[in-house]
Amino acid sequence: MTTSRLPAAAAGPVAGRPGGPARRRGRRPKDEPRRAPEVELFLEMLAAERGAAANTVEAYGRDLDALCAFLARRKEGPLDATPDALRAYIASLRHLGMAARTSARRLSAIRQFFRFLLAEGQRADDPSAVLDSPRLDRPLPKVLSQDDVMALIAAAAKRDAAEGLRLSALMELLYATGMRVSELVSLPLAAVERDPEALIVRGKGGKERLVPLGEPARDAILAWLGARAAGLRPGQTSPYLFPSRSREGHLTRQRFAQLLKELAIAADLDPQRVSPHVLRHAFASHLLAHGADLRSVQLMLGHADIATTQIYTHVLDEKLRALVEDKHPLAKKDG
């Protein structure tokens, strides 16, 4: 595949699991140990002052009951628990194989609980203040290969008449710019009327960014503009590039997502792997694979923090490994 379609710049605790109605507090089964009064007060505060849902209160209760049971085995309680005891508890969760996200949720409950005790004057210190949060590994984004994207674009081109032209314009634009789907479907007509070589995209918080447009995307837009009027009623006008009869006045995100699933099936791809956001991932990953610098990709994606963009560098792993194996003098082995 050619790279002309890519921009020229290529260079707190969760709610408890549903399992029936929340148990009324104060009516615990006889075989359960009595809940610590400090925990009871904290849960009452969550419900009364913060308006926490019943399932949320239950989740906090379970997490803090588990902590209190651990402290009791060390002959400690909420009012005299030490930082070492809390560290030992967090370590025990790791030893039991608890997932980092679940441990982080429990730690959040613990921190809020001890801050409450400190604010209420029941403790003179906060033993949870010295605890480190578990390191959470960010999941790698799903990414389509370049051949997959080309198959989707080809499937769009096979659609009949105006529908095919619209889909082609949508696909080419999304892959050429990495726009968020909300930015794509609401793109104003004025942004493309003069066959621009770059788009000004208004993103989150009203911030604008400039994204280059390659020739395939520009050609697809021009073709769609020639057919766009056919989809409007006589005398109707629209400020959007992709108008529709929706309440918003433009193609909706939900409808575009449905169209993508249809294209995936037509392209013999798993529709579960294809979404507007996955195409945004493909834009970033393919740019990096073809030599774009991370800062340029950050600007085109509209990420406020470059750390958000760094997750895409996983696509470089194989390329860098092959480079080292091929070029590094110590990697060469004598025959």
Does 250 participate in catalysis according to the annotation?
Answer: no
Catalytic annotation present for 277: yes
Is 158 catalytic? The answer is no
Query: 277, 290, 295, 332: which is the annotated catalytic residue?
Result: 277
Q: Which one is catalytic: 123, 166, 180, 286?
A: 180
The string of DSSP letters for 149-170 reads HHHHHHHHHTS-HHHHHHHHHH
> In angstroms, rounded to a whole number, what is the distance separating the alpha carbons of residues 328 and 115?
54
Q: Which of 105, 166, 280, 281 is catalytic?
A: 280
Q: Write the Ramachandran bin of 237: left for phi over 0, alpha for psi from -120 to 50, otherwise beta.
A: beta
Q: Is 95 tagged catalytic? A: no
Beta carbons of 177 and 300 less than 8 angstroms apart: yes
User: 74, 142, 204, 321: which one is catalytic?
Assistant: 204
89 given a catalytic annotation: no
Catalytic (active site) residue 204: yes
Tokens, residue 185: 């479907």
Residue with the two structure tokens 């210190």: 125
Neighbouring-strand partners of residue 201? 209
**Residues whose CB is less than 8 angstroms from the CB of residue 139 and which lie 6 or more positions away in sequence, other chains included:** none
Residue 251, amino acid:
L
User: CA–CA separation, 251 vs 247, rounded Å?
Assistant: 10
Catalytic option among 89, 175, 240, 312: 312
**Residue among 62, 255, 261, 303 flagged as catalytic:** 303
- Residues with a catalytic annotation lie at 180, 204, 277, 280, 303, 312
